[in-house]
Amino acid sequence: MKLKVLLVEDDEVSTFLSNRLLAKIGRCSKVDVAQNGQEALDYLSRCTSTGNSYPDIILLDVNMPMMDGHEFLDHFVQLDFIDREKTHIVLLSTNPLVEERKDNAVLAQLVKPLTIEMAEEIFRLYGERVAARAH
């Protein structure tokens, strides 16, 4: 199964490398990009208004201008769309995260840069969570 991913990242180099890595793995049907948390919320709002499917996975940089990853997550958990529980978030940071988020939406918290092994682990965890919810 190929997944729809939203990459929320303000750094152009990280965005390029992550896109390239995800394309190489071949597990994504689509990768959209938002440069900060507000753009990501706007993206989700457009999904609602146009009837487009929501991303399966959001790769979320923690440190961004305008609205950082933690602020985005605070807004995300309050969103009211039918399939919100099917969208899983991976927090990404250049430093080990001091404060761990225990939100149900958070699938994993990883230190950048994203590697092939990390991406494979994300897809494995996603598959396990989806299977667990199906039962």
Question: What whole-number distance in Å separates Cα of residue 103 and Cα of residue 133?
Answer: 16
Task: Assess whether pLDDT exceeds 80 at residue 23.
Answer: yes
Domain that includes residue 86, residue range = 3-134
- CATH code: domain of residue 9: 3.40.50.2300
Cβ atoms within 10 A of the Cβ of 127, count? 12
pLDDT in tens, 51-89: 888 999 999 999 888 888 889 998 988 887 666 678 999
Cβ atoms within 10 A of the Cβ of 51, count? 6
Domain tally, the chain: 1
pTM of the model: 0.92
User: What is the pLDDT at residue 43?
Assistant: 95
User: What is the pLDDT at residue 59?
Assistant: 97
pLDDT in tens, 95-120: 876 566 666 788 989 999 999 999 99
pLDDT in tens, 28-44: 999 999 999 999 999 99
User: What is the pLDDT at residue 80?
Assistant: 75
